[in-house]
A and B are shown apart, each in its own frame.
Chain A
């Protein structure tokens, strides 16, 4: 079919509209980020009052220095990272096995468990945190990173299991049955056939576990008061109330705390879309 001039015009119009939308979205997304990043490089004088500048006139690294010398930010960063990694590792393993069992294996109570799983995800943290705190203290796990990881599993495992259930369903049963016919055990089928196919799905699971854990505030603030076990989301905000002029270093901490999730996103970007496709459409 020949390309008419009106068709070309329409395509150009569409492309223009797309760029306009992108520009607006970019400004909307980047505006506050711009403020955060520039404030992190401003001196106190430029930060406060209605004479606050839109671009640092006297750029300084002082805020970053304060962040690392006067606050335990490095410790918070380390804790957040360790907790997120541990949560991710345990979640991926747990939910992979659990999802496979719920989808492929036959046993009484399977349907009940599958449905119950979704409902456990719906129970909000704002409801659970008080009794959870008692449990943590009784087991000696309050104020520890291990305790925090265990409570995070409460929301990462149901969500990721549910995601993976959707993915496993999309793996054709014929593939597995071929493996079984060839003499593979069920365990072998899981490891040698199903896992490689759903690697993108596992990537999505890891991604969500990491970001959910990195982000978490409520449990971390109630269950941990020991400075050595605090995470970024809970350690930094307390300085705002304590030190009246802390916005500069606060912005510096934001800039730094964005880096790990962005890194995870970069690493998994390739698989994220395919993984989400598989799960999203079927899940």
Chain B
């Protein structure tokens, strides 16, 4: 019996592929690719919001690269991302290791540790701003009540403290992602490997190094990769807590670009900031994904 046209279509890979991928392609072309190309074009223009742009070549880039504040902000972004990711990684791993073994109330603990991820980031940032508030904040009130300080501390304005306070908020909201991913990764490691190690007389630390870590390599890299992107491109926390103060010490690139675009209306140079930042990000991701491929191959 010859298959009908419909049967043949149902099996033709290219038709199906086109059909299946059409929605994805539509979405990506219209809300990612086209705007991206548009943003690249704008970065070579002097464009004030509301007026047509003028092509000025690489002037925006020259202005940025010659501005020491811009370079400071690049440094801040790298520091902020690296430190936040490192702390989130450590805390997430710790939490996952502790939550992995079966235990009563594990479900409850997991839910509690998940809550920061459930709070919308901007609301969490506003709440933390309130916690850090110089006069009415929880932190100062607790410290004063416990007698640990005599005067209020301006957490978000002290040059040495501000960046760490911002990082703390990023860690608070982002750690659940690591915890969940690592928990999943831990559970995927076959129990037999642990038993084999124990039979060989391995200590807890050796178990960790020789069974856990190799088994988790893939998930480590994937999580770090995603988190690097999430963290370094998110401007909400910095914008709400300090908007870059004091003296640009807490300013990071996405916030800088946002303020240029929306605060002063300079869309061209704001786009240029992103165009400098984006390749840096790609390089980091490429580096990480290469290690991921190598890890998977081994």
Contact = CB atoms under 8 A, between A and B. Distances in A.
A–B contact via C-beta, under 8 angstroms: yes
Interface of A: 10, 14, 18, 21-22, 25-26, 28-33, 35-36, 39, 47-50, 52, 54, 90, 93-95, 97-98, 100-102, 105-107, 110, 113, 117, 119-128, 130-132, 134-135, 150-151, 153-154, 157-158, 161, 185-188, 211, 214-215, 217-218, 222, 232-234, 236-237, 240, 247, 250-251, 253-254, 257-258, 261-262, 265-266, 269, 272-277, 280-283
Contact of B112 (A26, A107, A126, A251): A26
Given A35-B127, A135-B35, A217-B236, A94 B24 contact: yes
B220 to A, nearest CB: 10
Interface in B262-298: 262, 267, 270-271, 274-275, 277-278, 281-282, 285
B55 interface: no
A281 B214 CA distance: 11
B131 A128 contact: no
Interface stretch (B78-86, B156-164, B253-261): B253-261
Contacts of B271: 127, 130
Contacts, number: 272
Contact of A121 (B20, B119, B141, B229): B229
B112 A29 contact: yes
B193 interface: no
A236 B258 contact: no
Contact of B229 (A122, A187, A282): A122
Interface residues of B, number: 96
B71 interface: no
Given A25-B94, A123-B278, A214 B120 contact: yes
Contact of B188 (A28, A251, A253, A281): A281
B24 A280 contact: no
A126 B233 contact: yes
B121 interface: yes
B10 A186 contact: yes
B74 interface: no
A50 B140 contact: yes
Contacts of A211: 117-118
B184 A277 contact: yes
A80 B95 CA distance: 30
24 contacts: A21-B95, A36-B127, A50-B140, A123-B32, A123-B278, A124-B274, A126-B258, A128-B36, A135-B30, A135-B35, A153-B27, A186-B16, A211-B117, A217-B122, A250-B127, A254-B124, A257-B119, A261-B118, A262-B111, A269-B107, A273-B184, A276-B184, A277-B188, A281-B218
